[in-house]
Every structure is written in C-alpha cells, then in structure tokens.
Amino acid sequence: MSRVARPVSLQRRLMLSVTGAVALLWLLTAWVTYNETRHELEELLDAHLAQVAGLLVSQAGHGEVDAHDLDAAEADARDDDADTDDQGSDHGRVDTPTLHRHAQRVAFQVWQDGQLRMRSPTAPLTPLTELRHGFETRALDGEPWRLFATQGRGRGVQVYVAERMSSRADILQGMLVGLMSPLALALPLIALAVWWAVRRGLRPLGQLGQTLAGRQPGDLSPVVLPGATPPAELLPVLQNLNDLLARIGALLDSERRFTADAAHELRTPIAAIRAQAQVALAASEDAERRHALQATLQGCDRASHLVQQLLTLSRLEAADTAAPTPGTPPVDLAALARAVVGELAPEAVARQQTLSLDAPAQLLLALPQPGHDTLLRVLLRNLVDNALRYSPEGAQVQVRLSQDAQGILLAVDDSGPGLKDAELARLGERFFRKLGTGRSGSGLGWSIVRRIAAVQRAQVQVGRSAPLGGLGLQVRWPTEPGA
C-alpha cells in the first residue's frame, strides 16, 4: 500500500527559505569581513615593520658618528660582567633587552660593513635573509616569519625586521572574534524574528481555513474573514472563492428549478399513460382496448421525447466552452441539413406541409471541438421540427443555407401564425410553449437551440419571417478573425 505524501507546511517552507538565506548572507558577510580584515591587517603590520626598520636605520646612522665611544662602552661592560651576553657581545654587537612577553614574536638585526651591530634576542647571528630591500615571507627554524629588509645611508648599513606569522594570525583571530561574535549571537535572534514574522503573516490563511472548516455544506454565502481587512495578497483568493460560491449557488438554484419543472412536466405524460392503461384494462371491446393501447404508446413516445430532450439539455449544461481545439475537422453543414430535412420530410407530407431546402452543394463549417457535429444535428432537427410542429396543415417551411463575408447563415422560415412580442420575449425559456397550438411538446426545444448556439459561438435571431410571414429564425456562425 502506497503511503500518501505528507503535505509540506508553507510556514516551514518560508522559515527554511528565509533562515537559510539569512544564514547564507551571514556566511558571505563573514567571508568578506575575514578577507578584508586580513588584508588591512597585513597592510598595517607591514607598514609597522617598515616604520621600525626606518627607526633602526636612523639610529644606525647616528651610531656611525659615535662608533668608537660605543666600542669603549662595550669593552667596559665586558670587563664589569663577562657573563652578560644580553647586554653586549664581542666585536661591538649590542643585544637589546627583552622588555615585554610578546618581544619573542619580533626580531631585528642591524648590520654595518658586514658586521652585526645590533640584534634582538630572537634574532640569529646570521642575516635573516639575503634580500636587500623589500618584504619576504620565509621560514626560520621551521616557523614562518614576515621579513622586511632595507639599507641605510653610508658605511653599508643593512637593517632586517621580522615578525612571526603566528602573531599576525593571533591578532587577526582576536579582531574577527570581536567583529563576528555579535553577529553570531544575533543569528538565533534573527531566526526567532523570522519565525514570528512568518507566523504572523500567515495567520490570515489559518483564519481562512478555520472559517471554511466551520461552514455547513449548504452555506454558499460570501466568505468573510474576522477582524481587520485581509492582506492584499489574500484578496484575489477571497474574491475568486466568493465568485465560485456565487456561481455554484446559481447553478444549484438552476438545477433545483430544472428538476422541479422537469418533474412537473413528466407528471402529465406519466398520468396520461396510467389513465390509458387503466382504460385498456377495463375495456370489454377490442376496438376500445386497441385505442387505449395506442394512446398509451403515444404517451410513452411523448415521455421518451421529453426525457431525450432533458438529457440533451443536461449534456449541454456541462459542455466545454473552452477555446477551440486546433485541428478539428470542419463539418459539411449542407449535407447535414439535407439529411435532417430528409428525416423530417415524411412528417411534413403527412400534414400536407411543404418542406424545402435551399443550400449549396457543400458548405464547410468549422466547429470548436470534435463531436460538435452531433450537437449541430440536434440544433437543425429542433429548428425544423418546431417549424413543422407549430405550423398548421398546408403551411410552408423553408430552410436556407448561405455564406458571405460575415460568416455562415442558417435560416428557417415558416408560414404559420408566428409569435406575439410577449411570446417572443419568453421564447427559449425552459418548458415554455405557445398555448392553443394543439401540439404536444415539452418546451425544451428552443432552450436546446440557444444552448447549442452558445456552445458553438453562434448568434441566434428570432422575428417575423420576411419571405413567408410566419416565424423566422436565423443562426449565424461568424467568420473567425484572420480566417
């Protein structure tokens, strides 16, 4: 048994998306901050090395004037304490004292005429680098150092200043901790703020769900959210939902009226059939029984015709009125009209009516969707059948087909009594029939004609027939733009 996929929460999706975007932005900011801070720190510390080297060059230049005094002072210092290598060394070299615990992280040397004149306790007795001027990063005793070399003026002064790279890393780490710690602490607070904002922003959706869940099945009134005006993003949803409820309500009302009218209309033929069946059962003579059975069959035919009309109209109510389906083959309207007129010709002959057709040999009509040729046959049959049914004996019924720049025209004219203006206004209403015709019917034929015309995007006009004086009806299929 397949498991139903659990729906993803919109709130959770927004939380993950926004929080992930904030975290990614935080990481990008941290990376940019790290690179910028490291670059600026490198520039600052390199400048510091160059400044220290400049000071040493100045001191070395000053020491050139008092070199003999410096040698005498160093000789006296060796006589006073031969063991104090930190205060002096042989051959006029001065070792500076260690005054701070971080002094072990820096080193410098001052060379003059190839002799080491001054150095820090961390500097070796050999030159730190062979470079004469500029910056260099190299390993000393297995540890990377940043070095700066420069030359003094006169008497071959060479100065080297170096700093451990680990010292720079410690400084960079301390600065980054100071910079990024507040941002790291703010990240959970940002996530909490995002959660609160998303939850508050999606609250109207929860209210809409609760409102719909609490509704009764038959409640089709407009949906109204409690409280203030809903957000602009939710207004189209509410408007479309309320429009849908209004259309459903109208459809249900129409179906209720249709069901009530259909039940009322079916009651008459069913009652007539029952009455004739009772007459047939009670009849003692064969002629009387035969007459009752014939009346029963006629009632069954009327009921069958009514049911068929109801089913046709029901299918039309659910017909797809979407855009035309590309590639739908056209229908020969002239051939279809000849077939329908041929089917109804015997009925016209039986009533001594004249039924004529004026149509070209072929007239192709493009229909919106496949299968609409059946609806077109129903439309033609209803129009011709109504003209014959409601025209007196000996009347004329004329069917004409033509095509012009405006489209294809179907005209059905008869020489009957026609309809008054009030009756024309009601023509097309379900179960409306003109009284006094003496003809049976359900009154659904015109409703079916108008519905088929609407489905096939045709225009229907009803009025007085110009050629015959009775009822004249025209159905026009307009020419499609660009056709």
pLDDT by residue, tens only, the chain of 483 residues: 456 566 667 778 888 888 888 888 888 988 888 888 888 888 888 888 888 888 888 876 665 434 333 343 333 433 433 343 444 444 455 555 554 455 567 888 888 888 888 888 878 888 888 888 889 888 888 888 888 898 887 668 888 899 888 888 888 888 888 888 887 888 888 888 888 888 888 888 888 888 888 888 778 888 887 766 777 778 888 888 888 888 888 777 767 766 765 665 566 577 778 888 888 888 888 888 888 888 888 778 767 766 776 666 566 655 544 445 555 688 899 999 999 999 889 889 988 999 999 999 999 888 766 656 777 888 888 899 888 988 889 999 999 999 998 899 999 999 987 776 656 655 655 544 544 444 444 456 677 788 778 878 889 888 888 888 888 889 999 886 544
Backbone angles phi, psi at 25, to 5 degrees: -65, -40
Instruction: Give the DSSP letter of residue 164.
Output: E
| pLDDT on residue 322 | 44
Token pair in block for residue 5: 């996929």
Which stretches within 363-438 are classed as H helix? 372-389, 421-426
Of the candidates 298, 310, 296, the residue with the CA atom closest to the CA atom of residue 265 = 310
Token pair in block for residue 154: 């006169």
Amino acid at 301: D
| pLDDT on residue 64 | 44
| pLDDT on residue 66 | 42
Instruction: Give the DSSP letter of residue 90.
Output: G
| pLDDT on residue 83 | 41
* Maximum separation of any 2 CA atoms in the chain, in Å: 168
Evaluate the CA torsion angle 225, 228, 234, 237 in order and state its sign. positive
pLDDT tens-place string over residues 326-361? 556 888 999 999 999 998 898 899 889 999 999 999
Of the candidates 361, 355, 317, the residue with the CA atom closest to the CA atom of residue 335 = 361
Is residue 275 within 8 Å of 295, Cβ to Cβ? no
Q: Tell if the pTM clears 0.75, that is, is over it.
A: no
Q: Which residues pair with 364 in a beta bridge?
A: 332
Tokens 């975290």 locate to: 23
CA distances from 446 to 51, 121, 265, 361 (A): 105, 115, 16, 28
134: region left, alpha or beta (phi > 0 left; psi from -120 to 50 alpha): left
Backbone angles phi, psi at 217, to 5 degrees: -60, -35
| pLDDT on residue 72 | 39
Instruction: Give the DSSP letter of residue 468.
Output: T
Backbone angles phi, psi at 43, to 5 degrees: -65, -45
Residues 6+ apart with CB under 8 A from 447: 313, 428, 429, 430
Complete DSSP assignment for 310-360: HHHHHHHHT---SSPPTTPPPEEHHHHHHHHHHHHHHHHHHTT-EEEEE--
CA distances from 94 to 60, 66, 119, 424 (A): 12, 14, 7, 126
- Number of helical (H) and strand (E) elements in the chain, helices listed first: 10, 13
Please, what is the average pLDDT of the chain? 76
pLDDT tens-place string over residues 92-145? 555 555 544 555 678 888 888 888 888 888 788 888 888 888 898 888 888 888
Count CB-CB contacts under 10 A for residue 69: 10
Q: Do strands 94-95 and 115-119 pair parallel, antiparallel, or not at all (unpaired)?
A: parallel
Q: Within a 13 Å sphere around the CA of 253, how many CA atoms are in the beta-carbon half?
A: 7
Backbone angles phi, psi at 117, to 5 degrees: -95, -30
| pLDDT on residue 409 | 94
* CA-based end-to-end distance of the chain: 54
Is residue 149 within 8 Å of 134, Cβ to Cβ? yes
| pLDDT on residue 123 | 83
| pLDDT on residue 313 | 59
